[in-house]
A and B are shown apart, each in its own frame.
Chain A
Amino acid sequence: MSLSAPTCIGASVSRIDGPAKVTGAAKYAAEYVAPDLAHGYVVTSRIARGRIRRIDVSRARRVAGVIDVLTHDNRPQMAAQDDAYRDDVAPEGAPFRPLYNDRILFSGQPIAVVLAEDPEAARFAATLLGVDYDEEPHVTDFLGQRDAAVAAPKGAFGPPPARGSVETALEAAPVRHDADYYVPAETHNPMELYATTAIWDADGRLTVYDKTQGVQNAHTYLCGVFGLKPEDLRVMSPYMGGGFGSGLRPQYQVVLAVLAAKALRRPARVVLTRAQMFELGYRPAMIQRISLGADADGTLRAIAHDAVTMTSRYEDFYRQETGWSGLLYACANASYAHRLARLDLPTPCDMRAPSAATGVYALECAMDELAVALNMDPIALRLKNYSERDQHSGDPYSSKNLRACYEQGAEAFGWAGRAPEPRAMRDGDELIGWGMATGVWEALQMSIGVRIVLSANGHAEVSCATSDIGTGTYTIMAQVAADMLGLPLQDISIRLGDSTLPRSPVEGGSWIAASVANGIAATADAIRADVLRLAQGLPHAPLAGAGPDDVELAEGCVVSRADPSRRTPIADALRHARLERIEREHLTEFAAPKLAHNTHSAVFAEVRIDEDLGLIRVTRVVSAVAAGRILNAKTARSQIMGGVVWGVGMALHEETLIDPAFGRIMNANIADYHVPVNADIHDIEVIFVDEPDAEINHLGVKGLGEIGIVGVAAAIANAVYHATGTRVRDLPITLDKLRR
Chain B
Amino acid sequence: MINFDYVRATSAADAVSRIAAFPGAKFIAGGTNLVDLMKEDVERPPRLIDISRLPLNRVEDIQGGGLRIGALIANADLAGAPPVAQRYPLLGDALRAGASGQLRNMASVGGNLMQRTRCCYFYDLATPCNKRRPGDGCSARDGLNRAHAILGASVACVATHPSDMCVALAALDAIVHVRGPTEGRALALTDFHRLPGDTPDRDTNLEPDELITAVELPPKGFAEHYSYLKIRDRLSYAFALVSVAAALDLDGDRIREARIALGGVAHKPWRDARVEDAMRGEPANAATFGAAAQALLRDARALAHNAFKIDLAARTVVRALTQAARGTPQSQTDKRIG
Residues of A within 8 A of B (CB): 46, 63, 107, 120, 123-124, 127, 429-430, 608, 610, 612-615, 617, 652-653, 657, 659, 661-662, 664, 666-667, 669, 671-672, 674, 676-680, 734-736, 739-740
Q: Min CB distance, B153 to chain A, in Å? A: 19
- What are 29 A-B contacts defined by CB distance under 8 Å? A46-B125, A123-B39, A124-B3, A610-B336, A612-B315, A612-B319, A613-B312, A614-B312, A615-B337, A657-B120, A659-B139, A659-B143, A661-B139, A661-B142, A661-B143, A664-B126, A664-B127, A666-B121, A666-B124, A666-B143, A671-B238, A672-B118, A677-B236, A677-B237, A680-B236, A734-B233, A735-B233, A735-B241, A735-B312
- How far, in whole Å, are A527 and B127 apart by their CA atoms in the complex? 63
B235 within 8 A of A: yes
- How far, in whole Å, are A664 and B335 apart by their CA atoms in the complex? 34
B62 within 8 A of A: no
B60 within 8 A of A: no
Q: Min CB distance, A97 to chain B, in Å? A: 23
- How far, in whole Å, are A735 and B308 apart by their CA atoms in the complex? 9
B231 within 8 A of A: yes
Partner among B1, B41, B236 whose Cβ is within 8 Å of the Cβ of A678 = B236
Nearest residue (CB) in A for B40 is A275
In the complex, are the beta carbons of B234 and A667 less than 8 A apart?
no
Q: Chain A residues near B124: list those with CB within 8 A.
A: 664, 666
- How far, in whole Å, are A85 and B111 apart by their CA atoms in the complex? 48
Q: Chain B residues near A430: list those with CB within 8 A.
A: 336
Q: Chain A residues near B337: list those with CB within 8 A.
A: 429, 610, 613, 615
In the complex, are the beta carbons of A659 and B144 less than 8 A apart?
yes
Q: Chain A residues near B315: list those with CB within 8 A.
A: 612-613
In the complex, are the beta carbons of A679 and B233 less than 8 A apart?
no
B316 within 8 A of A: yes
Known: A430-B336, A664-B124. 17 other contacts (CB 8 A): A127-B41, A608-B336, A610-B337, A613-B231, A613-B337, A614-B312, A615-B335, A652-B234, A659-B143, A666-B143, A674-B238, A677-B236, A679-B236, A735-B231, A735-B241, A735-B312, A736-B312
Nearest residue (CB) in B for A663 is B126
Q: Min CB distance, A431 to chain B, in Å? A: 12
In the complex, are the beta carbons of A657 and B236 less than 8 A apart?
no
Contact with A along B142-186 (1 / 0, CB 8 A): 111010000000000000000000000000000000000000000
Within 8 A of A (CB), among B324-338: 335-337
- How far, in whole Å, are A614 and B315 apart by their CA atoms in the complex? 10
Query: Per DSSP, are chain A's interface residues mostly helix, strand or loop, or mixed?
Result: loop
Residues of B within 8 A of A (CB): 1-3, 39, 41, 118, 120-121, 123-127, 139, 142-144, 146, 231, 233-239, 241, 308-309, 311-312, 315-316, 318-319, 335-337
In the complex, are the beta carbons of B126 and A680 less than 8 A apart?
no
- How far, in whole Å, are A563 and B239 apart by their CA atoms in the complex? 69
Nearest residue (CB) in B for A649 is B234
Nearest residue (CB) in B for A108 is B126
- How far, in whole Å, are A735 and B237 apart by their CA atoms in the complex? 17
Q: Chain B residues near A674: list those with CB within 8 A.
A: 233-234, 238
In the complex, are the beta carbons of A613 and B316 less than 8 A apart?
yes
Nearest residue (CB) in B for A120 is B1
- How far, in whole Å, are A600 and B160 apart by their CA atoms in the complex? 46
Known: A664-B124, A666-B121, A677-B236. A615 touches B231 (CB 8 A): yes
- How far, in whole Å, are A41 and B98 apart by their CA atoms in the complex? 32
- How far, in whole Å, are A617 and B232 apart by their CA atoms in the complex? 12
Q: Chain B residues near A63: list those with CB within 8 A.
A: 3
Q: Min CB distance, B156 to chain A, in Å? A: 18
Known: A107-B126, A664-B126. A676 touches B143 (CB 8 A): no
Q: Min CB distance, A229 to chain B, in Å? A: 40
- How far, in whole Å, are A679 and B120 apart by their CA atoms in the complex? 25
Q: Chain B residues near A664: list those with CB within 8 A.
A: 124, 126-127
Q: Chain B residues near A680: list those with CB within 8 A.
A: 234-236
Known: A662-B139, A664-B126. A657 touches B312 (CB 8 A): no
B3, B126, B127, B234: residue with the most chain A Cβ atoms closer than 10 Å: B234
Partner among A613, A669, A676 whose Cβ is within 8 Å of the Cβ of B319 = A613
Q: Chain B residues near A661: list those with CB within 8 A.
A: 139, 142-143
Q: Min CB distance, A193 to chain B, in Å? A: 13
Known: A613-B312, A653-B234, A666-B144. A679 touches B121 (CB 8 A): no
Q: Chain B residues near A669: list those with CB within 8 A.
A: 123
Nearest residue (CB) in A for B311 is A739
- How far, in whole Å, are A739 and B142 apart by their CA atoms in the complex? 23
- How far, in whole Å, are A662 and B137 apart by their CA atoms in the complex? 14
Q: Min CB distance, B314 to chain A, in Å? A: 10
Nearest residue (CB) in B for A615 is B337
Nearest 6 pairs of A and B residues by beta carbon: A736-B308, A46-B126, A679-B236, A679-B235, A666-B120, A610-B337
Q: Chain B residues near A614: list those with CB within 8 A.
A: 312
Q: Chain B residues near A615: list those with CB within 8 A.
A: 231, 335, 337
- How far, in whole Å, are A614 and B308 apart by their CA atoms in the complex? 11
Partner among A46, A613, A677, A736 whose Cβ is within 8 Å of the Cβ of B235 = A677
Q: Chain A residues near B144: list those with CB within 8 A.
A: 657, 659, 666
Q: Chain A residues near B316: list those with CB within 8 A.
A: 613
Q: Chain A residues near B118: list those with CB within 8 A.
A: 671-672
Nearest residue (CB) in B for A732 is B233
Q: Chain A residues near B235: list those with CB within 8 A.
A: 617, 677, 679-680
Nearest residue (CB) in A for B121 is A666
